[in-house]
Amino acid sequence: MVHLKSERELELVRASADLVSRTLGEVARCIAPGVTTLELDDIAEQFVRDNGAEPAFKGYVANGLPPFPATLCVSVNDAVVHGIPDRYCLREGDLVSIDCGVRLNGFYGDSAYTFAVGEASDEDARLCRITFEALNLGMAAAQDSARVGDIGHIVQRHCEAAGYGVVRELVGHGIGRKLHEDPQVPNVGRPGRGRRIRCGATICIEPMVNRGTSHVTTDEDGWTIRTADGTPSAHYEHMVAITLDQPEILTTFAYIEEVVEQPPYWLGNVTHD
């Protein structure tokens, strides 16, 4: 069942969305060659707790797996999502996807961003730009009375036209008092199909897009999802509230853009065909 938020609940969701956005901004300041993914996780956890919230992913249990051990999912290069922070040192040219969840005043926030460490290759920059554009197209389709298939279709079409693989196994979702609520929001679909979304719904739209095949594998840790062919992957996630007017984007990348001088999707000389 899709839980539609009252104006008061929406205020609380906005606060959680703002905190998760600010947390990603803090992490963005520290992304550089030589930094370990565990150091990024420590920074995020401290910031979340200093702001009176709890990390949402830490201790998260799914499908009989060991509880997720960290505040951030940090997924480097061919890791798509759910990477566990460890002693790995970021290197120049890495593509690192950071996903963060918080729980503040009983409501969840969830957002993700893919960063280039140092300078991105043209190919990686193009992957980021197309994925970011797909997120924006998906959000624009999140209109009152639209269906989740409308969102999935436009995301899928944009990414596949660029020659990329869209991951099927993982999907966007409703969010509120639970991290994952109905409806599921796949990144593929057909127009006019799937659950209807209504004014008051709050959803996460989060395309996970691979430079090669859409197929993925899972590491022995049970969490880390990787591209089956070893190609890099990108992941951008925003929280959106459905309104009677234009969708309200609840999270923001503005805190990231303050510190990342040239987000990969701004780079020139990459063309979309």
Q: Please give the residues from 119 up to 138 whose contact with Mg ion meets the rule CB under 5 A.
A: none
Three-class SS string for 208-239?
A: EEECCCCCEEECCCCCCEEECCCCCEEECEEE
Select the residue interacting with Mg ion from 10, 20, 112, 260 (CB under 5 A): 112
Q: Please give the residues from 188 up to 207 whose contact with Mg ion meets the rule CB under 5 A.
A: 204
Q: Please give the residues from 233 up to 262 whose contact with Mg ion meets the rule CB under 5 A.
A: 237
Binding-site residue total for Mg ion (CB under 5 A)?
5
The answer to the question of residue 181 lying near Mg ion (CB under 5 A) is no
The answer to the question of residue 99 lying near Mg ion (CB under 5 A) is yes
- Region of 53-61, 111-119, 207-215, 250-258 interacting with Mg ion (CB under 5 A): 111-119
Please, which residues have CB within 8 angstroms of residue 80's CB and are 6 or more apart in sequence? 97, 167, 170, 208, 210, 216, 225, 226, 227, 233, 235
Q: Which is nearer to Mg ion, 35 or 170 (CB)?
A: 170
Q: How far is the CB of 21 from Mg ion (least distance, A)?
A: 12
Q: How far is the CB of 170 from Mg ion (least distance, A)?
A: 9
Q: How far is the CB of 110 from Mg ion (least distance, A)?
A: 4
Q: Which is nearer to Mg ion, 159 or 204 (CB)?
A: 204
Q: Which is nearer to Mg ion, 94 or 237 (CB)?
A: 237
Q: Is the peptide bond before 183 cis (omega within 30 degrees of 0)?
A: yes
Cα–Cα distance between 215 and 65 in angstroms, integer?
A: 21
Q: Which is nearer to Mg ion, 75 or 143 (CB)?
A: 75
Q: How far is the CB of 206 from Mg ion (least distance, A)?
A: 5
Q: Which is nearer to Mg ion, 110 or 150 (CB)?
A: 110
Q: Which is nearer to Mg ion, 177 or 229 (CB)?
A: 177
Q: How far is the CB of 265 from Mg ion (least distance, A)?
A: 18
Q: Which is nearer to Mg ion, 78 or 110 (CB)?
A: 110
Select the residue interacting with Mg ion from 94, 110, 150, 181 (CB under 5 A): 110
- Region of 42-50, 107-115, 251-259, 264-272 interacting with Mg ion (CB under 5 A): 107-115
Q: How far is the CB of 193 from Mg ion (least distance, A)?
A: 22
Q: Which is nearer to Mg ion, 60 or 164 (CB)?
A: 60
Please, which residues have CB within 8 angstroms of residue 163's CB and are 6 or more apart in sequence? none
Judged by the rule CB under 5 A, the positions of this chain that interact with Mg ion are 99, 110, 112, 204, 237
